Structure 1
Amino acid sequence: MLDLTKLAGQMPGISQHLKQEVKAGQKRLETAKELLERAKQRQVHLVEAQQKWRDRALFAAATPLEPLDTRINLFAPPERHTVFATDGSQIAPSHHEVAYCYLINVGRVMLHYGQSLLPLLDSLPEVFYKAEDLYVSKQWGIRTEEWMGHRRMVSEAQMLAEMACRWVKPPGAHPGPNLAMVDGSLIYWFLEGLPGEARDRLLPPIIEAWAQLQEARIPWMGYLSAARSGEATNFLRYEACPHPTPDCTTRCNNLERFPCQIVDPLRDTSLWEHLLQPGQRGPLWASSARILELYPEEQRVYFCYVHVGTEIARVEVPQWVIEDEALLNQSLSIMLAQVHKGYGYPVALAESHNQAVVRGGDRARFFSLLEQQMIRAGLRNVGTSHKEARKRGSIA
């Protein structure tokens, strides 16, 4: 039980620390604005320097594809369109339960606008209990719980493609404006640290699902709320560099803090919050994530920041979408309408999460159903561990 009386004594120190952080953040923001104004005048030179010295940089910085002062107003979406979304949840394996297994539940949502069609809101559960599912990741030093999260990501992409493509391909179906959405980034940074064999089990099925969407001409989008990235702001470090060339490895490798690190840790969203008006997007950026080198060229991910009214959202789309300006603007307008319908967050993503979430009661019913099936199969001594039983029936 949390002792609020003891906790209250720590509150003044926390509030004082946050007050100091706000003051320091304002100073970093003003510095970033000044660097941005200077960088606008030298953008071509800075991009050339970034490309030339990229391998010598000790920080990750995105590359702007448009002028830094780009401001694009987004308009109302087409009256007739369809939005697809998936999100996942899971029940983690536990040695204290009746059986060591895990469950992935993927929520699916298909919302039609201007078409007088019923929506699709459901979820698809899948149980993993075989040895090859439970212990395959051990050979790479990956915990089962972590591997389960990776498998969920694959399932979300596959079910999104299956749902969307099934809708647009049947004879008589209206291909009309469509948008597929996922919650979170399309740049799977964590794959960089995985062994190649493990990565090859995760990325190819996702790429295949994206290829199906591309073939059906369905743009997909990653929506990041409260994004913590500083990729775009880090580009300003090339302007802040005091040296003739941004050769970090030679000039700054032994320093505790780089001289160009004058706005760190300012987030991209904190800067663009003061630069964009509601309903506007900023310039497109190319991420410097090395994992993108394993993506097919037409599926490499680019991003921009959009003022959705309630916050600055980071929106990620594949290359083939940004190459079609009309399709990009249409996709962003549908996304913005989803945010307005969801009162600050895309309604399709919110509903797919609600369909996917596994609550405590669902977890108990799942293991109860599993226990019944095990007893029917003739298994004996079926039940939870003494530890789990004691925790559930505490007398304290």
Structure 2
Amino acid sequence: MLDLTKIAKQIPGISQHLRVEAAATRQRLELAQKLLIQAKSQQEEIVNRQQQWRDRITFAAATPIEPLDTAIEISTPPEGHTVFATDGSQLSPSHHEIAYCYLINVGRVMLHYGQSLYPLLDSLPEVFYRPEDLYVSRQWGIRTEEWMGYRRTVSEASTLAEMACRWVNPPGAHFDIPNLAMVDGSLIYWFLESLPAEARDRILPPILEAWEQLRSVNVPLLGYLSASRSTEAVNFLRLQACPHETPNCISNCASLTDKLPCQVIDPLRDAALWTNFLQPGQRSSLFRSSARILESYQAHRVYFCYVNVGTEIARTEVPEWVALNPSLLDQALSLMLAQVHKGYGYPVALAEAHNQAVVRGGDRTRFFALLEQQMIRVGLKNVGISYKEARKRGSIA
């Protein structure tokens, strides 16, 4: 039980720290705006230096493919359109439960606007209990709980593509309605960088295959990041702030143990910088991410931009085939913005996909009760949770 009277004594220190940090952030923001204006005047030259020295730069800096001060008004979405979304949740395996297994539940949402059609809101659960599902990741030193999260990412992508392709291109029918496939979070799977090649080959290829299916039916894919903590775009300004003739981090700054000379605006985030540049309904310059894992994405390399959705500066990510198609990019952003407005600050399709996917406490109890009944029915004995788990579920206090 949390003792709020003891917590209350620590609150003044937190508020004082936040006040000081807010003042420091304003100073960083002013400096970042000056650096952006300077970088815009020689943007092409900086991009060339970035590409030339990319193997010697030790931080991830995205590459702008439009002028840095771009602020484009997003068009109004058409009345008739369809939005697809998926999200996932899971039950982790536990040795204290009646059976060692885990469950992945993927929420599916398909919302139609201006078409007089019923929506789709449901979920697809799958239980994993075989040894090859539970222990395969241990050969790479990956815990089952982590591997379960990676498998969930694959299920979300595959389910999204299957749902969208089945609707957009059913046998004997053709639809000419603008649509959008959305996921909650980044399309850049940073966790893949640390995985062994064999493990990565079980995760990334099925995701890219799902994206290719969306591409084949011309359904744009968009990842929506609320309250993004990314600094990829701000890091491009570090190239402008670099005091050396070339951005050779390894040679110029390898011996430094303190803050690097180009980190004059750290830890300013991208979303904070674009707050003063974008009006509601506008998007920023389009950036190409420089994350190294994207070298394995082939034709699906990720681009991103920031959008003032009215309630916040959101980061939106799209594959290359969407980013380089102006009409498809505009379609994706306009439908995304409409979703945010319908959801009062957050895309309604993503919120509903989450609600369909989430496994609540009552769902967990009913799942294991159903499993227990089945185990008893087939003649298994001594079925039950551990004494530790049983004791933790009650209190004598």
TM-score computed with the length of structure 2 as normaliser: 0.98
Q: More displaced, 354-363 or 170-179? A: 170-179
How many pairs are equivalent?
395
**2:342 aligned residue:** 341
**2:278 aligned residue:** 276
**1:89 aligned residue:** 89
Shift of 1:175: 3.6
Between the aligned partners of 2:90 and 2:176, the Cα distance in structure 1 is: 33
Shift of 1:87: 0.2
1:111 is paired with a residue whose SS is strand
Between the aligned partners of 1:322 and 1:44, the Cα distance in structure 2 is: 20
Between the aligned partners of 2:181 and 2:47, the Cα distance in structure 1 is: 32
1:383 matches 2:391: no
Q: Output the amino acid matched with 2:240.
A: E
**1:252 aligned residue:** 253
2:53 is paired with a residue whose SS is helix
Q: Output the amino acid matched with 2:395.
A: S
| % identical equivalent positions | 72
2:260 is paired with a residue whose SS is coil
| Maintained 8 Å contact 1:167/1:173 | no
Shift of 1:92: 0.5
Q: Output the amino acid matched with 1:186.
A: L
Between the aligned partners of 2:75 and 2:222, the Cα distance in structure 1 is: 18
1:24 matches 2:24: yes
2:183 is paired with a residue whose SS is strand
**1:316 aligned residue:** 317
Q: Output the amino acid matched with 1:330.
A: Q
Between the aligned partners of 2:331 and 2:4, the Cα distance in structure 1 is: 50
Between the aligned partners of 2:311 and 2:69, the Cα distance in structure 1 is: 22
1:352 is paired with a residue whose SS is helix
| Maintained 8 Å contact 1:38/1:239 | yes
Between the aligned partners of 1:333 and 1:181, the Cα distance in structure 2 is: 13
Q: More displaced, 89-98 or 249-258? A: 249-258
Q: More displaced, 72-81 or 337-346? A: 72-81
**1:105 aligned residue:** 105
Between the aligned partners of 1:370 and 1:102, the Cα distance in structure 2 is: 12
2:148 is paired with a residue whose SS is helix
**2:14 aligned residue:** 14
Deviations 1:221-269 (A, max 9, x none): 1000001000000000011011111111111112121100000110000
1:123 matches 2:139: no
| Maintained 8 Å contact 1:338/1:347 | yes
Between the aligned partners of 1:289 and 1:212, the Cα distance in structure 2 is: 24
Matches within 5 A, 1:32-43: 32-43=32-43
**1:370 aligned residue:** 371
Shift of 1:295: 0.8
Between the aligned partners of 1:67 and 1:37, the Cα distance in structure 2 is: 10
Q: More displaced, 100-109 or 12-21? A: 12-21
Q: Output the amino acid matched with 1:62.
A: A
Shift of 1:3: 1.1
Q: Output the amino acid matched with 2:185.
A: G
Between the aligned partners of 2:395 and 2:136, the Cα distance in structure 1 is: 36
Unaligned runs of 5+ in 2: none
**2:60 aligned residue:** 60
**2:242 aligned residue:** 241
Between the aligned partners of 1:360 and 1:173, the Cα distance in structure 2 is: 43
Between the aligned partners of 1:388 and 1:44, the Cα distance in structure 2 is: 61
Between the aligned partners of 1:330 and 1:197, the Cα distance in structure 2 is: 37
2:245 is paired with a residue whose SS is coil
Between the aligned partners of 1:322 and 1:383, the Cα distance in structure 2 is: 53
Unaligned runs of 5+ in 1: none
Matches within 5 A, 1:115-154: 115-154=115-154
Q: More displaced, 351-360 or 4-13? A: 4-13
Q: Which consecutive segments of 4 or more residues in structure 1 shift more than 4 A?
A: none
Shift of 1:173: 4.3
**1:326 aligned residue:** 327
Residue of structure 2 aligned with 1:286, choices 288, 298, 304:
288
Shift of 1:174: 1.7
Q: Output the amino acid matched with 1:27.
A: Q
2:69 is paired with a residue whose SS is coil
**2:178 aligned residue:** 177
Shift of 1:172: 2.5
Q: More displaced, 313-322 or 104-113? A: 313-322
1:235 is paired with a residue whose SS is helix
Shift of 1:9: 1.1
TM-score computed with the length of structure 1 as normaliser: 0.99
Between the aligned partners of 1:148 and 1:383, the Cα distance in structure 2 is: 24
**1:261 aligned residue:** 263
Shift of 1:214: 0.6
Shift of 1:356: 0.3
**1:304 aligned residue:** 305
2:395 is paired with a residue whose SS is coil
Between the aligned partners of 2:38 and 2:79, the Cα distance in structure 1 is: 42
Between the aligned partners of 2:174 and 2:355, the Cα distance in structure 1 is: 28
For the aligned residue pairs, the C-alpha RMSD in angstroms reads 0.8
Between the aligned partners of 1:213 and 1:118, the Cα distance in structure 2 is: 22
Between the aligned partners of 2:325 and 2:201, the Cα distance in structure 1 is: 30
